[in-house]
Amino acid sequence: EVDKQIRKIVVQLEEVEGKIEEVEAEISRLDAKFANPDEGDAANPDYAFFSKYQELKDDLNVFMKRWEDLSLELEELKAKRNL
């Protein structure tokens, strides 16, 4: 039973890690656009640009918290299994 829960948590962790990577890549892309204002939208950043950026940062925080929670749960289950 514990092994089944561990596998489930591992799958969830992998999914969250994938989402974190996606969001970080998008944030990096927007950072690069903003750092090089000669490129399109970044030459004149508007509310939508900053709104999208903040949304991504918020999403990243949510995914990081989820990753933390799952990691702690995984460690607890592993400790429980080893009793």
CA distances for 77 relative to 6, 19, 60, angstroms: 7, 23, 25
Rounded to a whole number of angstroms, the distance between the first and last alpha carbons of the chain is 14
pTM of the model: 0.85
Tens place of pLDDT per residue across the chain (83 aa): 999 999 999 999 999 999 999 999 999 999 988 887 765 555 566 888 889 999 999 999 999 999 999 999 999 999 999 87
* C-alpha to C-alpha distance for 42 and 45, rounded to whole angstroms: 5
